[in-house]
DNA sequence: CACCTTCCGTGTATACCGCAAACAATGCGG
DNA sequence: CCGCATTGTTTGCGGTATACACGGAAGGTG
C-alpha cells in the first residue's frame, strides 16, 4: 500500500479551467504530516461560507468577510482552496444534501415528482443558490448522488443511457426555473412577472403586444387551477416523458 | 419651480430594486433641451457594450472598459444609465432581437418548436448571455415581443391565461438549458458532463453511485438517437403540453 | 445681446474585490 | 537535533462600481 504514496494528489495535467475544478471537487484531501497544526480545513471554510450565505446572501461571501468570520486572514483561505471559483463550487456541491429516500415500488413517475420537489425545496430554503454563477454548479460528489438516484428511478425503462441523462438534465433545468418562481413568490415584492401587468398597463402600447394584452384581458376564471402550484409545470414535463416512453415502447413492440 | 416639471422621469415611488429596474427599461427617453450636445446616448452605450461582449465576453464589459471603448470617462456613462445593473438589463433585452415570423396555419406545436429553436440560436450566437446574472434578465420591450408571439401561438387553446404564462416560462427555461448544452458542445473542452465519465472512472467509488455506473456500463447502442440533438428535449416538453391540452379538452367534453 | 438655468462629461476619491509573493512561525521525519 | 514542509500573516497590486464636486456648453428668456 506504500508503492504509490504520492498518487493521491492530482497531477499537474494542464487541465482546462472547468475540468480541473471538477477534479478538485473529487480529489481526496491529502492529510499533511509536517508543519503547524492547521486551524482551518476545507470543510470548516465551506461550512462558514454557507452559514454566511444563509445569513446575508451569496454576495456577502467574499474572501475578506469569510476570513473575518473564521478569525483568520483572507489569504489563509488560499491554503485550502485554490480560489474563489473552487470555493463557490464546493459550496454549491455541499448544499446538495442527501436526496430523500424514495421507496422502491412507487413507480418512476411518482418517484421523479418527489425527486423534483425535493430539489425545489432545497433551493427555496437556500434562495441564494440561484445567485451562484452557473459555471460553479458542477457535478461533485454530493450532487452526483441525486443524479444516481434519478438513474435508479429510470431503471428498467426502455431508454438509452444518453437519453436518460438528457431527461435528467431537462428535469434539473426545470427545477431551477420552478424554484426561482417559488422563491420569488415567497420573497414577494420581487417577482418581475407579478408586477409585469402593472408595468405594462403604465408603459406598453397594446398595439405592440396584441396577444399578450388579449390574454391579460381574459379574466382568470375563479375555477382556474392554482396559479403558483408547483405541480403544474412538473406534470407537463412528466407527461412528456411518459409520452416518449410510450412511443418508444410502441416502436419496440411494432 | 413649476409644480410638475419633472413628471417625465419616473417618480420616486420607493420601488423595490427589481421593479424600478423593469420600469426603467420601459420608461421613454426624455430628450434634453438644454445643455451641451450629448456625445453619448443609451443606445450608443448599449450597442458598444454588446459589441464588447461579443468580442471578449460579458466579463470584459466593465464601466472602465466600456468608457474607454466609447472614448469617454467611465463616470460619463452614469448620466445615461443608473448603474451597471440597468446596463446589463438593457443589454439582455436588446439582444432579444425580433422573433422570427411564424406562419399562421402552422399549428401550435410546430410553431412553438420554431419559437424555441430560434431562441436557442440566439443564445448560441451570443454565448455570453448565459453568463449574465439572471436577475438582470427582465421583461423589457424586446423580450416581451417573444412572449407576445408565444401567446399568439397558444391562442385558441383551452388554457387559462396563467397556465399559458406558466407554459411559456417553462419553455423559456428549457431553452436556456438546451442552449447551454449546445453552446458548451460547440465550444468543446468545456462541457463538464462530457468529461464527467472520465473524472468518475478516476475518482468516484462505484459503490457510492451504483445506478450511475450501471447506466454508464450499458454501452450506447449505435442505433441510439443523436445524443446532442436539440429536438429531443423539445419534443418531450411539447409532448407534455399536448398531453395536458388533450386532458383539458377531455374534461370540457366530459 | 446678456444672463440664467440646465445638462454633459471630467476629475478625484472611496471602499471594496480577488489574489500574487515574500515571510516568520511551527512541528514532524530523518 | 536539524532540516524542511506547511501553516497563517503581511504587504501590495490591479481591478471593480460609484459618490461627489466641478467647469464648460448651449438653449430659453430677459
Do the beta carbons of residue A243 and residue A130 sit within 8 Å?
A: no
Q: Which residue lies nearest D19, CA-to-C1' measured?
A: B75
Helix (H, G, I), strand (E, B) or coil at B35: coil
* Cβ neighbours for B237, distance < 8 A, ≥ 6 positions apart: A170, A236, A237, A240, B170, B171, B174
Q: Which of A12, A38, A16 minimizes the C-alpha distance to A27? A: A12
- For chain B, list the domains and their CATH numbers: 15-23+37-94 (1.10.10.60), 104-191+224-253 (1.10.357)
A71 nearest nucleotide via C1' and CA? D8
d(CA B79, CA B96): 24
Q: Along the 254 residues of chain A, how does pLDDT read in single tens digits?
A: 333 333 333 333 334 566 689 989 999 888 878 999 999 999 999 999 999 999 999 999 999 999 999 999 999 999 999 999 999 999 999 999 999 999 999 999 999 999 999 999 999 999 999 999 999 999 999 999 999 999 999 998 988 888 899 999 999 999 999 999 999 888 866 666 666 777 788 889 999 999 999 988 775 655 444 555 788 899 999 999 999 989 888 887 77
Residue B71 distance to chain A (closest CA, Å): 31
Chain A, chain B: beta-carbon pairs less than 8 Å apart: 216
Nearest CA in chain B to A164: B215
Looking at residue A228, what is its pLDDT?
A: 56
Whether B139 sits inside 8 A of A243 (CB atoms) is no
d(CA B246, CA B254): 12
Residue with cell 431508454: A159
Q: Which of A243, A242, A209 minimizes the C-alpha distance to A112? A: A242
Residue B12 distance to chain A (closest CA, Å): 15
Using an 8 Å CB-CB cutoff, list chain A residues near B139.
192-193, 196, 199
Looking at residue A189, what is its pLDDT?
A: 62
**pLDDT tens sequence across A76-107:** 999 999 999 999 999 999 999 999 999 999 99
Whether B165 sits inside 8 A of A237 (CB atoms) is no
Q: Point out the residues of chain B with pLDDT beneath 70.
A: 1-19, 188-195, 219-228
For an interface test with B, give the residue of A156, A199, A228 to mutate (most B CBs within 10 A).
A199
Looking at residue A11, what is its pLDDT?
A: 36
**pLDDT tens sequence across B227-237:** 557 888 899 99
Looking at residue A95, what is its pLDDT?
A: 98
Q: Which of B41, B85, B89, B45 minimizes the C-alpha distance to B69? A: B45
Whether A169 sits inside 8 A of B162 (CB atoms) is no
Do the beta carbons of residue B179 and residue B120 sit within 8 Å?
A: yes
Residue A227 distance to chain B (closest CA, Å): 6
d(CA B180, CA B133): 14
Using an 8 Å CB-CB cutoff, list chain B residues near A240.
235-241, 243
Amino acid at each position: 500500500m506504500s508503492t504509490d504514496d504520492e498518487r493521491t494528489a492530482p497531477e499537474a495535467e494542464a487541465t482546462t479551467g472547468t475540468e480541473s475544478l471538477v477534479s478538485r471537487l473529487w480529489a481526496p484531501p491529502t492529510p499533511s504530516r509536517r508543519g503547524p497544526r492547521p486551524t482551518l480545513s476545507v470543510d470548516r471554510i465551506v461550512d462558514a461560507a454557507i452559514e454566511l450565505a444563509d445569513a446575508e446572501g451569496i454576495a456577502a461571501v467574499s474572501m475578506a468577510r469569510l476570513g473575518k468570520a473564521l478569525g483568520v486572514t483572507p489569504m489563509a483561505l488560499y491554503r485550502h482552496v485554490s480560489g474563489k471559483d473552487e470555493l463557490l463550487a464546493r459550496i454549491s456541491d455541499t448544499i446538495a444534501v442527501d436526496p430523500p429516500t424514495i421507496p422502491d415500488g412507487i413507480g418512476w413517475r411518482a418517484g421523479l415528482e418527489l425527486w423534483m420537489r425535493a430539489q425545489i425545496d432545497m433551493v427555496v430554503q437556500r434562495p441564494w443558490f440561484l445567485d451562484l454563477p452557473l459555471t460553479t454548479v458542477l457535478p461533485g460528489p454530493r450532487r452526483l448522488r441525486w443524479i444516481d438516484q434519478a438513474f435508479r428511478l429510470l431503471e428498467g425503462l426502455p431508454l438509452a443511457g444518453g437519453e436518460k441523462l438528457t431527461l435528467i438534465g431537462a428535469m434539473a433545468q426545470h427545477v431551477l426555473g420552478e424554484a426561482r418562481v417559488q422563491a420569488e413568490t415567497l420573497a414577494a415584492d420581487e417577482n418581475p412577472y407579478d408586477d409585469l401587468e402593472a408595468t405594462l398597463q403604465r408603459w406598453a402600447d397594446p398595439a405592440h403586444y396584441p396577444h399578450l394584452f388579449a390574454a391579460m384581458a381574459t379574466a382568470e376564471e375563479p375555477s382556474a387551477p392554482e396559479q403558483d402550484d408547483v405541480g403544474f409545470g412538473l406534470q407537463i414535463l412528466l407527461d412528456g416523458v411518459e409520452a416518449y416512453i410510450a412511443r418508444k415502447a410502441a416502436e419496440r413492440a411494432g
